Structure formats: structure tokens, C-alpha cells
A and B are shown apart, each in its own frame.
Chain A
Amino acid sequence: MGELTAIGFRPGQSVLHRLDPRTKQALLMGISVTSLWGNLSFLALFTAVIMLSLNTAGMRIRRLICETRYFLFFLCFVFGVRTITFSGGWTPAFSAEIAGEALIVCWRLLLVVCMGVLLMATTRTADIRAALVWFLKPVPLVNEKMAATMVGLVVRFLPVILFQGAEIADAQRSRGIERRKNPLIRLMKFTIPLFRRVFLSADELAAAMQARCYSEHRTLPDLFFTWRDGMALGAGILISLTVLLP
């Protein structure tokens, strides 16, 4: 369970790698939302742009499919549920018009996911966090420095927790937990030791952070907005405008 997802950052020198993380996130957000109204012409253009970006970022189609496989299953399922209707009897009905509509919905969702994959593959986690701090700064009631530290801890401890969970499950299997059929017992016996272990290490973690002088007045990461980012934003706006086309 060490490897959560293969969509990790891969170092590179492509245009996407060199964009400011804020630009990439703004594009992702803006285009995700506008895509809800997108029609054929928008989707076609958008697909072309995504393909081109995947290519420049050095991402293989096979890797992309492999990484989004669960989502692809899910899309097929959504497509199936949307298209097949049981009007009246038990015989499934199928109409080309509804299928076309469903296809567009799925296509749209797939493109948005591809954008997310691109962002993750071309941006260091530290930069994603840096952009987050910047975006949260104007939000009232949110302490952006604290949020950034917490997000960093989540990323750091997710694989550790998965590893500990697997260890607990293995230890219990080796003592025959599978013979217990009561689901309540199974849930309890797994969750209580996992939480205990995680929160015990929390005390130590807090002490370790204190030992390294944790304070909220920390150095912020620096980000650079260049002409490249300006161009990328411009291109994003142009793509979004094609929503207005039929």
C-alpha cells in the first residue's frame, strides 16, 4: 500500500512544469466550472488542448488510462444508468438521443479529471501548498498558514496511516479475525487500534514540531508569475469563451 496512486509529481521542464501553480489552479477551477455548459465545439477544442498538454508534459496515454481506471469504470456505469430506461415493462429501452446526451456528460467529466491529472503530474506538492496559501489569504475566518501546515501533514501522514492499517489488518488476519462473522466486531477491532496508534503518535509529533520551534509566523513559499502565466490564462479564457458557441 506504499504507493497510493501513480499520479505523483514527475520532474520535467515542459511549459506546464514551468507555469506558476496559481495559474494552473485558476485554469483548472475556471475551466472545470465553465465546462458544465460546454457543448460539442467546446468539448472538441478542449480535448485537443488536453491532448496537446498531455503530450508536452510527457504523459503517456497508457499511463493516463491506467491511473484513471476506477474513474473510467465509474463513467461507464453512469453512462449505462443514464442511457437504459425501463419505461413501462421490464424491457430496457434505448434511444440514440439520450445516449448522445449521456455521452457528452461523461466526456465532460473525463476531461475535467484529465486536467486534474495534469496538474498533479506537473506540480510539486510544496508548490500546490504555496498556491493554496495564496488563494486562502483573502478568505475571512481562515488562517491560511495553519491550513497550509495541516494540509502538509495530511499528505505526509496518509501513506503512513495506510501502512499502519495494512499492518493491523495483517496481524489480525494471522490471528484468524476472518472467522468472526459479526461486522460490528470487525469494524471495532480494526478501527480502535488504528485510531489509538495514530493519535498516540500525534502527541510525539506535536512535541517534535515544538522542538523545531513551530510558530505561525513562518516563511512563506515564494511564487513567480511570469509572461508565460499571462499567456496561459489568456488561452484559458479563450477556450472558456467557446462555451458560447453551439
Chain B
Amino acid sequence: MDASARQLKRMVYASLMAALTAAGAYIAIPIGPVPIVLQNLFIMLAGLLLGGRWGLISVAVYLLAGAAGLPVFAGGTGGVGKFVGPTGGYLLGFAAAAYLIGLISESGRGRVAIDVLAMVAGTLIIYAFGVSWLKVATGMSFSKAFAVGMLPFLIGDALKIAAAVPIAKALRPMMDGTFTVVRTAG
């Protein structure tokens, strides 16, 4: 495979990861009474599977598509307004988190402890951006912004971090190309 073909392949992977991230906002798995939305799990996987640089690119492409007014954000709203809106901080946090998670986990070369550490750091980054912007955009007090914009989601986040470890383990061989799929359909 020559350089341009490899570049194209990475680009397609990152684009599909961005589409998965967009889909994650729409997909919820009902567990007990609360549905778990998959988007931030997919953000973590973007970092774990694609690494820092391409993880960031994939989330950036997702945000860019949304910012430009394409219908990729949840709830049928898109455009720059979403960034200025109350949940805009989380979106920027996603990009930072994917980069950070990718960067840290790359240095760990698949060690579980490092991956978990990376995801905890990534989750904190998302809330750092998200909660502070929520406070600014709605004028709530910090404690209120925390109570509304972070506390209810922490249990779900812990679950997602726990799930992301085996998921990344199962999918990594496929992404590295050590596991090339031989397609001999005909």
C-alpha cells in the first residue's frame, strides 16, 4: 500500500468515526429506567482506537459539520448556535478529550491502567469545558451548574469507561491492520 492509499484509508476511518460519534447522540441503550446515551463512549473510543492526532481530527470533523449547519447534532439543531448555546462547552470538550485520551493511551501501548487513566482525564476535560460554559451561557451559579451538568452523569461515565476497555481490546487489532480482513466474496 503506498502512502496516498494509507492516507486515504486513515481519512476514511476518521470520517466514519466522526459519523459514529454523530450517531452516538441518537443511540441510547435502555438499561433499567434510564437510557444510556452512547456519544461520550464513542468519543473515548475515537481517542483509544485512532490515537491522538486522528482522534482529534475525527471529532473536529464532526464538530465542523455541525457548526457549518449540517444536521449532525442531536435534537435536530445545528449550526454555530449550538456552540453558543448552553451545551456548547461539552462539544469543545469532546475534541480536547479525544486528543488527550489518544495521546495518553498511545504512550501506554494498550496497558489497561493507562487507558483508564486516559479516559478519566478525558472525562474531566469534557466537564471542565462543559460546566464552565453552561454557567456562562445560562448565568447559573457554579454549584447549580455542577448539579445539573455533571453529577447526574457520573455513574454513566464510570460504566462507559469500564465498558470501553474491553471494547477497545476487541477492536484494536482490526484498526492496526495486523488483522487484515481478506474479502474473497467471489
* The stretch of A11-19, A51-59, A186-194, A219-227 that contacts the partner chain: A186-194
> Is A78 part of the contact surface with B, judged by Cβ < 8 Å?
yes
Cβ A5 vs Cβ B71 within 8 A: yes
Q: Does B5 contact A (CB under 8 A)?
A: yes
Residues of A within 8 Å of B, CB-based: how many? 78
**Chain A residue with Cβ nearest B4:** A215
Decide: A113 and B71 in contact? CB cutoff 8 A.
no
A194 to B144, CA, bound (A): 37
Chain B nearest CB, measured from A19 CB (Å): 13
Interface of B is mostly: helix
Docked complex Cα distance between A153 and B62 (Å): 10
Contact for A116 among B31, B69, B74, CB less than 8 A:
B69
In the assembled complex, how far is the CB of residue B168 from the closest CB belonging to chain A, in whole angstroms?
Answer: 10
A165 touches B23 (CB 8 A): yes
Is B29's CB under 8 angstroms from A187's CB?
yes
Query: What's the Cα separation between A132 and B61 when bound, in Å?
Result: 11
Q: Is the CB of B19 within 8 A of A113?
A: no
Within 8 Å by CB of B75, from A28, A71, A196, lies: A71
Task: Give Cα A128–Cα B49 distance, bound, in whole angstroms.
Answer: 30
Given A5-B76, A154-B61, A192-B171, A205 and B140 touching (CB < 8 A)?
Answer: no
Closest to A205 in B: B12
Q: Is A45 an interface residue (CB 8 A)?
A: no
A4 at the interface (CB under 8 A from B): yes
Report the nearest B residue to A198, measured CB to CB: B16
A208-244 residues with Cβ-Cβ distance < 8 A to B are 209-210, 214
* B80 within 8 Å of A (CB atoms): yes
- B78 to A151, Cβ gap below 8 A? no
A8:B71 contact, CB within 8 angstroms: yes
Main secondary structure of the interface of A (DSSP, over half): helix
Q: With A154-B22, A158-B23 known to touch, is A188 a contact of B76 (CB < 8 Å)?
A: no
Determine whether the beta carbon of B139 is less than 8 Å from that of A101.
yes
Give the size category of B's interface with A.
Answer: 35 or more
Provided the pairs A184-B162, A199-B13, A210-B8 are in contact, do residues A154 and B82 lie with their beta carbons within 8 angstroms? Answer: no
Verify A6–B138 contact, CB threshold 8 A: no
Q: Are A203 and B181 in contact (CB under 8 A)?
A: yes
Q: Counting CB contacts under 8 A, is A245 at the interface?
A: no
Binding site for A on B (CB under 8 A): 5, 8-9, 11-16, 18-20, 22-23, 26-27, 29, 31-32, 36, 38, 41, 45, 49, 57, 61-62, 64-65, 68-72, 74-82, 84-86, 137-140, 144, 148, 159-160, 162-163, 166-167, 170-171, 174-175, 181, 183
What 6 pairs across the A-B complex have the smallest Cβ distances? Answer: A116-B79, A112-B81, A5-B76, A153-B15, A70-B75, A187-B163
Instruction: Show 22 residue pairs from A and B whose CB-CB distance is below 8 angstroms, ordered by the A residue.
Output: A5-B76, A7-B71, A28-B80, A68-B75, A71-B77, A81-B148, A109-B85, A116-B78, A120-B71, A128-B68, A150-B14, A154-B61, A156-B19, A162-B23, A165-B27, A181-B31, A187-B29, A191-B41, A200-B174, A203-B183, A205-B16, A206-B9
Residues in chain A within 8 A of chain B (CB atoms)? 1, 4-8, 25, 28-29, 32-33, 35-36, 67-68, 70-71, 74, 78, 81-82, 101-102, 105, 109, 112-113, 115-117, 119-120, 123, 125, 128-129, 131-132, 146-147, 149-151, 153-158, 160-162, 165, 169, 181, 183-184, 186-188, 190-192, 194-196, 198-206, 209-210, 214
8 new A-B contacts, CB < 8 A, other than A128-B68, A128-B69, are A25-B68, A70-B77, A113-B85, A154-B61, A156-B19, A157-B19, A187-B38, A192-B167
